[in-house]
Amino acid sequence: MPEPETLSENRPSALARLMAGVTAHAPGITAGPVNDEPTPDEPGHPEYHRRQRAAFALSRWETAVPYRYRDSTATHPAITAWADRAATDYRDAGFLVLTGSIGTGKTHQAYGALRRIAEAGPKRFEMIATTAPDMYGRLRPGGSEKGTEHDLKRLCRVPLLLLDDLGTEKLSEWTEEATTRLVNERYNECLPLIITTNFPVRAPSGDPSPDLVTRLGDRLASRLAQTSTVVHLDGPDLRRGLRSVS
Ligand SMILES: Nc1ncnc2c1ncn2[C@@H]1O[C@H](COP(=O)(O)OP(=O)(O)OP(=O)(O)O)[C@@H](O)[C@H]1O
Ligand SMILES: [Mg+2]
């Protein structure tokens, strides 16, 4: 009985099988050496499989990205370095906190970082991107079909989470508890979290302006301090620049 065909990545190439057939049926002919190694364009080559994973991950990224940010590219060196760590092993990356005033490109860089991870073709790519106000809307009692607890657990466990515009909402006791659970659980599981915020992580001492630490509380601030790559984006409001060009 013939051996059953398998779809294994290590199957001999079509050329190798052809040459084996020729040799079997024409004993006078000796097949020359065959380079049986798959090329990057063939199944079996690691690069072929990386590209397949990247194409799949990018299609997920495209589904999640708002239309305005479809061309986002991470350009800041600290952000690209963070994305590269996350692509290699997302449990190694820690949190990424992008601070800066309005229109400095935080959301653009955040989606760009997620795109860079997708392009690397990681073993697993699953992401949720939401603004903090949207998240709190969904997590309010009655705010989601499957129930708030189900939604919060999903946000806690998804491999990649972007929480855009954190701190713009006035935190009620309830939203504060949801944020604490989310950050704490991702911290415990060493899952990455990208946060963008208009607040500095910590205002200079003596400066009474609000900062992330005072808004989120000391327990969360301590976790953020341990695990975060903080990148401050400064410069003008890019939206004004774009308007004056057009
Ligand atoms: N590197 C870039 N190249 C091209 N366009 C950019 C770049 N960075 C930002 N933009 C554009 O500039 C505008 C402002 O960027 P973005 O929305 O990322 O700012 P932001 O810091 O998140 O602002 P906010 O604090 O209001 O949320 C957007 O239209 C965005 O598409
Ligand atoms: Mg933004």
For residue 139, what are the CA distances in angstroms to 102, 152, 162, 168, 169? 26, 7, 16, 16, 14
**Ligand 1 in contact with 107 (CB < 6 A)?**
yes
Report the nearest atom of ligand 1 relative to the CA of 165: 27
Average pLDDT over residues 5-21: 59
State the fold for domain 48-245: Rossmann fold (3.40.50)
Percent of the chain with pLDDT over 70: 85
pLDDT of residue 48 exceeding 60, the answer is yes
pLDDT of residue 11 exceeding 80, the answer is no
* Alpha carbon of residue 159 to chain centroid: 8
Closest listed ligand to the CA of 68? 1
pLDDT of residue 7 exceeding 60, the answer is no
Domains in the chain: boundaries: 48-245
pLDDT of residue 225 exceeding 80, the answer is yes
Q: How far is it, in rounded angstroms, from Cα 101 to Cα 200?
A: 9
Neighbouring residues of 213: CB distance < 8 A, sequence distance ≥ 6: 201, 202, 221
Phi, psi of 99 (to 5 degrees): -110, 165
Please state which of the ranges 18-27, 54-63, 75-84, 214-223 shows the lowest mean pLDDT: 18-27
pLDDT tens profile 92-125: 999 999 999 999 999 999 999 999 999 999 999 9
* DSSP per residue, 124-175: ---EEEEEHHHHHHHHSTTSSTT-HHHHHHHHHHSSEEEEETTTSSPPPHHH
Q: Whose CA is nearest to atom 18 of ligand 1?
A: 105
Average pLDDT over residues 30-57: 89
pLDDT of residue 74 exceeding 80, the answer is yes
Closest listed ligand to the CA of 239? 1
Report the nearest atom of ligand 1 relative to the CA of 73: 1
Buried b / exposed e over 87-113, threshold 16 CB at 10 Å, is beebeebbbbbbbbeebbbbbbbbbbb
Q: Whose CA is nearest to atom 7 of ligand 1?
A: 105
Q: Could you give the 3-state DSSP secondary structure of residue 93?
A: coil
**Ligand 1 in contact with 80 (CB < 6 A)?**
no
**Ligand 1 in contact with 198 (CB < 6 A)?**
yes
What confidence score (pLDDT) does residue 2 get?
A: 52
What confidence score (pLDDT) does residue 87 get?
A: 97
**Ligand 1 in contact with 197 (CB < 6 A)?**
no
pLDDT of residue 68 exceeding 70, the answer is yes
Report the nearest atom of ligand 1 relative to the CA of 108: 18
Q: Could you give the 3-state DSSP secondary structure of residue 11?
A: coil
Closest CA to 239 of 103, 144, 133, 106: 103
**Ligand 1 in contact with 66 (CB < 6 A)?**
no
What confidence score (pLDDT) does residue 245 get?
A: 46
User: How many whole angstroms from 60 Cα to the centroid of ligand 1?
Assistant: 22
User: What residue type is assigned to position 114 of the chain?
Assistant: L
**Ligand 1 in contact with 76 (CB < 6 A)?**
no
What confidence score (pLDDT) does residue 34 get?
A: 73
User: Which of the residue ranges 22-31, 105-114, 140-149, 227-236 has the most confident prediction, judged by mean pLDDT?
Assistant: 105-114
**Ligand 1 in contact with 72 (CB < 6 A)?**
no
Query: What band does 6 get if pLDDT is binned at 50, 70 and 90?
Result: very low
